[in-house]
Structure 1
C-alpha cells in the first residue's frame, strides 16, 4: 500500500476513534447508572382504599375517626394535599393506576358490573391483554409481585375468557371481583390464584394483610417486591368489629355512622400491622404509597345498600361519581420505611397515573413503548419539588354533576358540559359502536374556571374575571379532550 493511502486510512481510524468516544463513554455511564439503580431497587407497596373520602383520615381533618397509623405514616413521609385518583369511580381508577394511562384509552369508562349482556357492550369490558402494567414492568427487572384484595378490572372474573391478575404480572393474587361478600365480615368470595377460597373468618382488611404477610414470609430470595393491597373498606356493604363500633357510638348520630367510623379505623389497624412487619423485616428500602380509588359514596344514593355511607369530602365539592374535586381528589401519603429524604405536607399536583413512570425510574425498568399520561415524581421524593409538565384531564360520561369533563393545570381547573343539538349528552356507561358517533359529535360548552389554590371548594367561577387565563385554558382544554376522545377505546361485539 502506498504511503499516502496508509496515512489516509490512519487518519480515518483516528477520526472514527475520536467520534466514537463520547457515545461510548455516554453508553458506559448510562449502563453504570442503571446498574446502580438496580442495586438500590426499593420494595414498593401500594395501599389502596375503596371509597375513602378526602376528609376521612384524622391527618386530613376528620374530627372523630382515629387513624393513628396512617397519621404516623404521613408525619414520617409526605402528606399530599393535591393527590388525584385517575377516575371518580372504582374500575377505571384502578385501570388508570395500573397502566399510567387515562382509563378511557383502555376502554374502561365506569365501574364494571358482573357479567350480564347489555346493549352497550358493557359486558365485554375488561383490562385487555395488550395493556402494560406496573407489576409486569417491574417483573422485567427482577421483582416478585402480589395483589391482595379487590381486582374489579374485568367483567368475567376468574375466567379464562378474559385476562386475570396473573396475566398482568402478578405472581400471586388473592382477590375478589368487586366487593367483599356478603360483607367485610367473614367474606366468601375470595379467589386465590384461580381457586375459590370459601368463607374466611375475620374482617376483610385484616384478611388481606394476613395474606400479604404470609406471601412475604414465603417469598424466595432477597429480590425486591411489589405488593398491592387493595382494601374493600370503606365501600358498602360495611361490617366492623363490635368493640370499635361501641367506641364510636357516643360520637355518632346513628349506629350506621359509628359502623362507618369503625370501618375506617379497622383499615388503619390493618395498615399498622403491615407497617410493623415491614419495619421489622424490610426496613432498609421500602416505599409505601397510600391512597383511595375515588371519593366517598353519597349516603342512601342507592337506598338501604348505602345506609352506612358517611364518608367525608372534607372541604371539597361533590362526592364519588362527580368531576368536582371530591370525586377524585383523595388522601395521598408517600413514605419510605426507614429512610425518608423528604417529609411534610406538599401541595404538588400528583396523580395515581404517575405511579408507573415513578416506579420505572426507581427500579431501573424501561417504560412501556406507548404514550403515558403519568409523569415520574421521583424529584418529589428526592427534593420535595415536583411540577407537572402536562395537565390532568378526566372525561367521566356518567358523572352526577352536569360538567362531566374537567382539566387541572397548575392551580387552575376548567370544567365543561357536553352538548348535542342544544341538549346535554345523555349519561353513558360505555363507549361502543352504537354511541360512538353521538359522543364524538358532542361539543364542550358552558365552561367554568376555578383557582383551586384560592378556592378549594370551587365556589367562584372566574371565567369572566380571569378572562386571559380562561381563554388559554379553554383552548388547551378543547384540544386535549379531542385528543383523549380520539384515543379512547370503542367496544365492538365479536371484535
Structure 2
C-alpha cells in the first residue's frame, strides 16, 4: 500500500467517523416522505412554583427532606448557576417555552385574572405566532403533554385567546394560575377544554397521576415531551397532615411546618414519577427539575402566611432582580445515557431549553433570534461556553434596579430615569407608557463579581473600572436591542388563535 493510498484510507475513516458523530442528534431520511430521528430522547421538565434556591436538602436546606430530588442531583447534574427567565411566574413560563426573553412576547409581569385595566393588562397572553418547545418537538414526531399550572394567558380556557393545545400540547390538564381553594382537593382543573370539578388529593400528586396515566395511554412508538408544572410551594399552601406532623418539632410554627411539608410532598411526587420512568422509560429519558422563580416573601400579601421559602445565601426574593429572584435550583438527569454527572457551575437558563431540546430531537430552530443557547455539550464534557449574556428587564421589581445582566462572572444592575425622574413600577408596556419606557436612560449602575461574592454584598465598580466600563457598554447595547423588540399592547390590535 503506497503513501497516497494510506492517506486516502485514513481520510475515508475520518469522514465516516465525523459523519457518525454529527448524526448523533440529526435527521436521517428513511423514506420519500418520512423522517426518523436517531436517538430522540424523551424529555420531561419538572417546574416548581416559587421554590427557593435554598429549599432543597441538596442545595443546603437544613430541615426539609428531599431524598428523591437529592438522589436525582447525586446521579445527574446539580447546577449551582441555574437561572429562570424572569423573577415572577408568567414571564418565566413564557421564556421557558419560547427560548426568548418574555419581554419580546409582551409578558412583563404575572398575568392576573381577566379584568379590564388602563394599562391593557387584560389583553396579555402568549400569542399564536410564538414558536414553542411542544410545537417544535411535535413537528419531529413527539407526543406532548402539559399537566399543572399554565398561567400564560389572561383568558384561560377561552376561544378568545390561544390555549395550551394551540402551542403544540396534544393533551393538557391545567389551571389558569393557582389551584383553588388550595393544594388540597382542588376544584379548578381543566382537561383539554373541559372542567374537571373537584379532585380529591393534593395537587402535586394529582398532576403526577395525570402524567402517568397519559404516558400509559400514549402511542408507545413516539418519543414524548412532558411538562409538569407543580403549583407547590406557591400559596395557598396545603400539605398532608402526616408530613406536617413530621416537621412540627423542627419548625418555628405550624405554618412553617406546612411549608416544609409542601416541599417534601413535591419530592415524593417526583419520586413516584422517577420510579415509573425507571420501570417503563429507562432507556433514553432526559429529566430536568427547576423552579419558575425565587421564593415568596413572608406576608408580602395577606395570603402569604405560609411562605417560608429560603433564598439560601442569595440576596433578594421573588420579584427581585438580585440573584434570589431568578437563580433557582437546577437538576438534570439523563436516564439510560452515560453522560456527565456531578456539580456544575456552568451558567444555564431556562431560555436554553428550546435550543437544547431541538438539537437533541433533531427539530429545526425558529427562524428568529433566540436568547437561549444549546447546552448539549455539557452532557459529553461537563462544560458549556455561554456566548450570550443573560438579561432581565423587570419593570415591577421590588428592588430599585429593574434591569440586570450577567456576563461570565460579572453582573451589572441599573435603574431607569426619564426626564430626571425614576420610572414608577410598571406591570405592562402599552401604548400609554411606551414613550416613557423607550425614552428612559439607564442610570445608577452597580457591579458585582458573582464568583467572589455570591450574595451581592460588595459593589465593585470602582475596584474594577475597566470591567465596569465594558459591562455598561454591553448592557446599554443588549437592553436597547431588547427594548426595540419588546411587544407593546394596544387595544386596537386583533389577536387570533392558530
Q: TM-score, normalising length from structure 1?
A: 0.93
Structure 1 position 27, deviation (Å): 10
Specify the SS of the correspondent of 2:384.
Answer: coil
Specify the SS of the correspondent of 1:306.
Answer: coil
Specify the SS of the correspondent of 2:145.
Answer: strand
- Residue aligning to 2:204: 205
- Residue aligning to 2:112: 113
Q: Within the alignment, does 1:414 sit opposite 2:407 as a pair?
A: no
Structure 1 position 442, deviation (Å): 1.0
Q: Within the alignment, does 1:134 sit opposite 2:133 as a pair?
A: yes
- Residue aligning to 1:228: 227
- Structure number with bigger Rg: 1
Specify the SS of the correspondent of 2:249.
Answer: helix
Deviations 1:468-487 (A, max 9, x none): 10000110101111110000
Structure 1 residue ranges without an equivalent (≥5): 1-25
- Residue aligning to 1:458: 456
Specify the SS of the correspondent of 1:371.
Answer: coil
Structure 1 position 222, deviation (Å): 1.6
Specify the SS of the correspondent of 2:412.
Answer: strand
Residues of 2 paired with 1:64 and 1:133: CA distance? 38
Counterparts of residues 455-494 of structure 1 (less than 5 Å): 455-494=453-492
Deviations 1:77-127 (A, max 9, x none): 000000000000000000000000000000000000000000000000000
Q: Within the alignment, does 1:147 sit opposite 2:146 as a pair?
A: yes
Counterparts of residues 95-494 of structure 1 (less than 5 Å): 95-303=94-302, 305-494=303-492
Is the 1:145–1:226 contact (alpha carbons within 8 Å) kept by the matching residues of 2?
yes
Is the 1:77–1:340 contact (alpha carbons within 8 Å) kept by the matching residues of 2?
no
- Residue aligning to 1:22: none
Structure with higher helix content: 1
Q: TM-score, normalising length from structure 2?
A: 0.93
Specify the SS of the correspondent of 1:437.
Answer: helix
- Residue aligning to 1:23: none
Number of residues of Structure 1 aligned to a counterpart in Structure 2 = 471
Residues of 1 paired with 2:183 and 2:393: CA distance? 31
Residues of 2 paired with 1:340 and 1:253: CA distance? 43
- Residue aligning to 2:60: 61
Is the 1:76–1:340 contact (alpha carbons within 8 Å) kept by the matching residues of 2?
no
Structure 1 position 339, deviation (Å): 2.3
Structure 1 position 221, deviation (Å): 2.9
Specify the SS of the correspondent of 2:40.
Answer: coil
Residues of 2 paired with 1:145 and 1:430: CA distance? 31
Specify the SS of the correspondent of 2:377.
Answer: helix
Structure 1 position 30, deviation (Å): 7.0
- Residue aligning to 1:49: 48
Is the 1:285–1:339 contact (alpha carbons within 8 Å) kept by the matching residues of 2?
yes
Deviations 1:165-222 (A, max 9, x none): 0000000000000001000000000000000000000000000000000000001232
Residues of 2 paired with 1:333 and 1:35: CA distance? 31
- Residue aligning to 2:11: none
Specify the SS of the correspondent of 2:172.
Answer: strand
Give 4+ residue runs of structure 1 displaced > 6 Å after superposition.
Answer: 26-32
Is the 2:23–2:38 contact (alpha carbons within 8 Å) kept by the matching residues of 1?
no
Bigger drift between 338-347 and 132-141 goes to: 338-347
Residues of 1 paired with 2:479 and 2:373: CA distance? 19
Deviations 1:388-436 (A, max 9, x none): 0010000000000000100000000000011122221000000000000
Find 2:27's aligned residue among 34, 52, 77.
34
**Structure 1 residues 273 and 449, CA gap change in structure 2 (3 angstroms):** same
Structure 2 residue ranges without an equivalent (≥5): 1-17, 30-35, 494-498
